Amino acid sequence: MTHAMPAPRAHTQGRACGAGPRNDDVNAPNDCTLYGSRGSGSAAVEVALRRAGLRYRTVRASTWEPDSAQDELRRVNPLQQIPTLVLPDGSVLTESAAILMTLADICPDSGLLPPGGPARAQAQRGLVFIAANCYGAIGVGDYPERWTTARDEAAHEAVRQGARRQLHRAWDVFADQFGRLLITQGQTPTALDILAAVVSKWSGTRAHLRKQRPGMAAALERIDKHSTVAPVFAEHWET
């Protein structure tokens, strides 16, 4: 993932959700700070922050961009992974699924998660499924050298291929187990839709699903195009 994202920006778009007066200052004390980069998982958190109506500024930081705010990111997240979100009270949130669930809690009216009961439980299960099984496999495929003590390129390529196969298998299972929870025409994307749409953009997943689970691929394209999602995705991806 090699992407460039503009320097810190302030966003005030969306409905306010108990976040106090609006303020366009880049470093306003009521802002959340989102560490991220173009084309990364921070896109999912941006969509959710806007849905929750929370003010935030973005800081471009990633392990693959030496000119980005890597030291600042390491201070809040020793793994240096993005998305990392710092709330106005200074508390740090990492792990995409946990971040989205927390934003849904902070702003219950956002519709990011069902209000409670079995529907909420299944949505949370789906979020953790994506983070653990899909996002996790992408990390293995992107950095195979971390997952084997072998140093030769052939061994790394074998890990890469194995991770990709497992990733696509995980998406097939996701489609079968959770596909029915994704939005249909006319509905507004939830946290589960948003994370599924972002994480499926990588490692050939969309092409795989178009062949193996066309209904799920169509649902993901519907999410991409939704008016609450498309403006953020346009800032992160060319298409």
* Closest by Cα among 171, 146, 170, 169 to 159: 146
63 forms part of the interface with ligand GSH (CB under 6 A): yes
* Closest by Cα among 86, 79, 44, 87 to 62: 79
Count residues binding ligand GSH (CB under 6 A): 12
Long-range contacts of 64-67 (CB under 8 A, 24+ apart): 64/1, 64/2, 64/37, 65/2, 65/3, 65/4, 65/37
| Cis, bond preceding 83 (omega within 30 deg of 0) | yes
User: 46, 95, 193, 224: which one contacts ligand GSH (CB under 6 A)?
Assistant: 95
Residues 151-210 binding ligand GSH (CB under 6 A) are: none
User: Of the ranges 12-20, 79-87, 163-171, 179-187, which one interacts with ligand GSH (CB under 6 A)?
Assistant: 79-87
Nearer to ligand GSH, 79 or 218 (CB): 79
- Shortest CB 137 distance to ligand GSH, Å: 10
Nearer to ligand GSH, 129 or 135 (CB): 135
**Separation between Cα atoms, residue 13 and residue 82, nearest integer Å:** 22
* Closest by Cα among 58, 80, 81 to 8: 58
**Whether 190 contacts 111, CB under 8 Å:** yes
81 forms part of the interface with ligand GSH (CB under 6 A): yes
Site map 2..41 versus ligand GSH, x via CB under 6 A: --------------------------------------xx
User: Of the ranges 76-84, 166-174, 207-215, 230-238, which one interacts with ligand GSH (CB under 6 A)?
Assistant: 76-84
Give the strand pairing for 56-60 and 9-11: antiparallel
Nearer to ligand GSH, 62 or 110 (CB): 62
122 forms part of the interface with ligand GSH (CB under 6 A): no
* Closest by Cα among 9, 63, 64 to 32: 9
Nearer to ligand GSH, 131 or 216 (CB): 131
135 forms part of the interface with ligand GSH (CB under 6 A): yes
User: 58, 68, 96, 200: which one contacts ligand GSH (CB under 6 A)?
Assistant: 96
Tokens of 71: 């030291």
**Contacting residues toward ligand GSH, per CB under 6 A:** 40-41, 62-63, 81-83, 95-96, 131, 135, 139
